[in-house]
Structure 1
Amino acid sequence: MSIDSVSTPGRVAEDTEGITLDELALAARNHAMPLEVLRHDVTPVGLHYLLTHYDIPATRADTWQLSVSGSVARPLALDLAWLRHRRPTTVRVTMECAGNGRARLSPRPISQPWLVEAVGTADWTGVPLRDVLDEAGVDPSAVDVVFTGADHGVERGVEQDYQRALALDDALRPEVILAYEMNGSALPPQHGFPVRLVVPGWYGMAQVKWLRSIHVVDAPFDGFQHHAYRLRENTDDPGRPVTRIQPRALLMPPGFPDFMTRARIVDAGAVTLTGRAWSGHAPIQRVEVSLDGGEHWHTARLESDTGHRWAWRRFDFTWQATPGHYRLTARAQDAEGRQQPVDQSWNRGGFANNAIQLIQTLCR
C-alpha cells in the first residue's frame, strides 16, 4: 500500500467549506497563546504557542547526541554535558508560527487553523551555534547548514525527518543558539527536549526541535520544508521563501468576554488598551490604535527599549470610552518602514499573515 492513500496534496477550502475534522484535530493537538497572556513580558511555558508537525519523539538526556558533520574539518559527536559546560547565553525571543492568521484567509488554506494567537515570548538559554561551528571548523566551501530533528512523519506523500537549513551567514549570527533551557528550566518535551535550534527573528518553522544533527553542505539545501514554506499564489508559482517575521501588534482584549463569540464588554470611562508589538526585521518604531476597525488611527505610547532586541515591546493607549459598539485593533511599524496592513494579501500556504486583528467590543 502507498502512503499517498493517507497523505494527500495541500489544498484550499471550497468557497462554502467549513472547518474540516482534520483541521479540528490539528487545532486540538496544537495550541495558541490566550491573548490575555499578553500581560506577561515572558510567556509562561504552558501558555506559549505550540505547533508539532509530527509526533513528540521519545528523547532522553543521558543518551542524546548531536552530530556535526559535512563540510567541516573536525566532525563532532556532542552530548548534553558538553553543551552545558560551554559558556551559556540567554536570548529573549518572540516566536510566531509562519501560519498565524491562516484561518482568517478566504479561501482558507487547509492546515493548522490559526487565528492570531500563534505566538509567545520565552527566555531561551543555550550555546551560540557559531561556537559549535567554530569548534568543528567550517570549510570555506560551505553554503548552508542543515538541521535535522528527531520527529519523523509524512507530509504530502513525502516521508521525512523534520529538516530545515540556514545560509551560513545566518547560521553564524551571534543570536542563533542551540537551546537547552526555556524560561530557566530544561526544555519541556513539547518544546524540543533536550536541545532545539532558536533563530531569533525568524518564523517558527526555522526553530528545529529535538535536534539530532547539524550537517554543513557546499550547495543550497533543497529539502521538503524549504519548498513547503514559500509564498505562492498558485501551484505553478515558484514563490518566495518564508523567513523573517513581519511586523505585528496585538491588543490584549479589554473588559470581559462573551463565552461563545469572545466579544468584549467594557464600562464607559477611561479604558487602558494595552498590547505587544514585534518584528523580525527591525525594532518596532511606532504603534497605532484604532477604535473603528482601521478607519482612523491614534498613536499609542510605546515602552522604552528594554534591551531585548528579539522580544516584543509593550504599548498602551488610554481610550475615553462612551456607550456604543467598537472594533478595536492596533498596527505596528518597524524601524525599516514596514507597516502592518489592514487587509491581508492571500497566498496558498497561508503564511506570513500579519493583517490587523479585530476585537468586537460593546461599551455600556
Structure 2
Amino acid sequence: MAYTIEKGKKFIPADSGCFQYIGRIDSDDPKRPVMIWPGSYIDVDFTGTYAAVVLKNINFQEDTHFAVIVDGVMKKIFLPTDRQDNLYVAAEGLEDKQHTLRILKTLAAHNYLEFTGIVVDENASVTNPDHKYDMKLEVYGDSVSAGEVTEALYYEGQCDPADHRNKLDNSHFSYALSLARKLNAEVHDTAQGGIALLDGTGYFCSDQLTGMESCWDKLEYTPYADRKQWDFSKWIADAVIIAIGQNDANPEPERIRTPEYRRMWKDHYIKFLRGLMEKYPEAKFVLILTVLGHDRTWDDALEEITQEVNSDRVSHFMFRRNGNATNGHPRATEQEEMAGELYNYFKGTLGF
C-alpha cells in the first residue's frame, strides 16, 4: 500500500454498498472494480470536510489522468505510472455538510482505473445516491465520442494544439456524456480514439490496427492487456448511437468509392448493427458522423445502410455542420452544440 490514512479519517471500501457505478465497469472483484471505457463514473454522497480517492492507475501510455467532481466542481488529477494504490485528495476544507462526489474516467484505453474506495472524515456519513435515470443510452464511437482534446479552449474550428498528448482529453465534455445529462440517461460511452469499424483500418493500436468489430462486445478491450467479454444481459440500452466511419478511410482513403469495398464495408457495418439490435430488441438506433471534417461519401454510406436495413428502429442523423465545423477534434463548445442537436432529435423525433 503506497499511502497512509491520517488520524481522524476512515476508509470506505469499494464494496461497501455506498457507491453507484455507471458504465461498462469490471466488477468481477467487487473490492477492486475496474473502470475501463471513457465516461465511466462512480457517484457517492458524503458529509464532512474532506474526501480522497484511492485507486491504482494501470497505464498503457504516459500523461494519464482522471477527474473528481465535488459539488459540481471538477478537478483533473494526473496519475503516476507506478501501478500501485495511491490516495488522491478530491477536496478538503469543505463546509461540514452533505456533499456529492463523482469519480470520472476521463480517458479511453490510455489506462484502466482500479478503484478501491474513498477516505473521509472519521465521523462522516457516506451513502449511495442511487440516482434514478429515465433511460439507458449507449454510444459506440471514436475519439470524438470519447471526448479527446475537448479542453483545447479557443481552438474551436482549428487543428489540434501541438503536443497535446492526452492532456486535453476529458470524456465529461463529450457530446455522449452531455447528451446523457440532458436526457437524464444512464450512459455507456463505448468509444475509443482512432478506432474504425474494421480490423486493419483506422488508427487505434498503430502496430496492430484494431477495429470496433473486435471491441464492441468486450469489457477489457485493449490488445495490450488481457481481454474480457462483456455480458450484455447486465444492461439493456433503450437507445444506441453509432458514430463510426470517421477513421475508416485510413490507410486507403479512396477504397470506399470502389463498389466492391463499399459493399464489403457496409456488410460489416450491417452485421455489427444487427448484432446490437439482437442484444437490445427494443432499442432505437441512430447512425451518425460528427462535425469533425470528413468526406461526405461516408455520410452517404450511412444513409445507404439505413435504407437497406429498413427498420423503424434505425435512423440516420446529420448535424447542422456535419463534417464541416472543424479539422481538429471538437472542443467542449462544439461537443455541446452536437449534444443540443441530438437532444432535440431524441425528444422531438424519437420521442424520448
TM over 0.5: no
Return the TM-score normalized by structure 1: 0.28
Larger radius of gyration between Structure 1 and Structure 2: 1
Return the TM-score normalized by structure 2: 0.29
